[in-house]
Amino acid sequence: MKQLLLATLVLAALPLAASAQDATANPTSTPDQNADASKNGGWTGSGEFGFASSRGNSRSENANAKLGFNQENELWKNNFYLNGLRSKGEVTVDDQQGNPIDKFSTTANRYDTGASVGYKFDPRSYVVTAARYEHDDFGANLWQGIISVGYGYIALKNERAELSFEIGPGFKRYQPAKTTRQATNPDGTPAFEPGGVVPLEETYKPDAESEVVGRSLINAKYRITDNTAVEDTLLVEAGSKNQYYQNDIGLSVSMTKKLALKIGYQIRYNSDTLPGTVSTDKLTTTNLVYNF
């Protein structure tokens, strides 16, 4: 995680080299898109979709989609999003007789949604209320949800770059993923397979956890050229039981005023995981983006 935080800080510092003069234009939008946003109360939106399929010696299907809406004007700084990921592939499992067989099965199934509503005190400062919910059939947590309130500050915003911060307290509740443990007999003694040597295992669903957390968000955008931009977002939800980090970095290249290609890389980390699950999940995407 030290490398992740260092890389994010370096990226966040890039916009400082751009310019210290503020402008009202969106740094990741074209002038035409900025003009359209000003006519719609500051609203802009984008949709992303990526799909890959392989057949032959192996079979796999991967699809991911993202939908986002943003509003920024003299009074409001709002954000709404919905993301989904689903993947299928060949996995080796044992049949009823214990023989290994190949099966085309779901290997990833995740969706998350969230929103933040910010009210501006001045062009730079705002108070923000945020909520997020995530469901992941194959993650460290089956689901997690958080609601928070905090303070936001736009440190830099001009035609080429933008850098903003949010920080505040929140309340989080999450359900750890199912795991296995040694089964017990009705009298509470450990249970074993026939023969009394191999322990008998059972699926176990832990209790849901709740805690007060500190939430922080760093969002940096930088336009490299007229049609190429990079964006990085670091989300931290830290509590006494679990620390959650999510970093999303993306490089987009515009083909037209509405269409772009985007390469994205995501790292998600949970400090509190059960046996059989790992703390870090990584996702690389190549998507077609439509801006509206």
**Could you tell me if residue 247 is inside a domain?**
no
* Residue 273: predicted pLDDT: 80
pTM: 0.78
Please enumerate in sequence order all residues whose Cβ is within 8 A of that of 148, keeping only pairs 6 or more positions apart, or say none: 129, 130, 131, 168, 169, 170, 171, 213, 215
| Number of structural domains the chain divides into | 1
Rounded percentage of the chain residues whose pLDDT exceeds 90 = 55
Rounded percentage of the chain residues whose pLDDT exceeds 70 = 78
**Could you tell me if residue 142 is inside a domain?**
yes
Rg of the chain in Å (alpha carbons): 23
**Could you tell me if residue 181 is inside a domain?**
yes
Write the Ramachandran bin of 5: left for phi over 0, alpha for psi from -120 to 50, otherwise beta.
Answer: alpha
* Residue 106: predicted pLDDT: 86
**Could you tell me if residue 140 is inside a domain?**
yes
pLDDT, mean over the chain? 83
* Residue 104: predicted pLDDT: 76
The SS3 assignment for 34 reads helix
**Could you tell me if residue 291 is inside a domain?**
no
Question: What is the length of the chain?
Answer: 292
Whole domain around residue 119: which residue ranges? 2-53+63-89+110-222
Burial 252-264 (b: 16+ CB within 10 A, else e): bebeeeeebebeb
Residues 196-229 have pLDDT tens digits of 665 676 677 888 999 999 999 999 999 999 999 9
DSSP state of 190: B
Q: What does the alpha-carbon distance between residue 250 and residue 267 come to, in Å, rounded to a whole number?
A: 12
**Could you tell me if residue 163 is inside a domain?**
yes
**Could you tell me if residue 197 is inside a domain?**
yes
**Could you tell me if residue 234 is inside a domain?**
no
Residues 87-116 have pLDDT tens digits of 988 777 666 666 777 777 888 899 999 999
Using alpha carbons, list the distances in angstroms from residue 158 to 13, 32, 79, 222, 256.
14, 16, 19, 10, 22
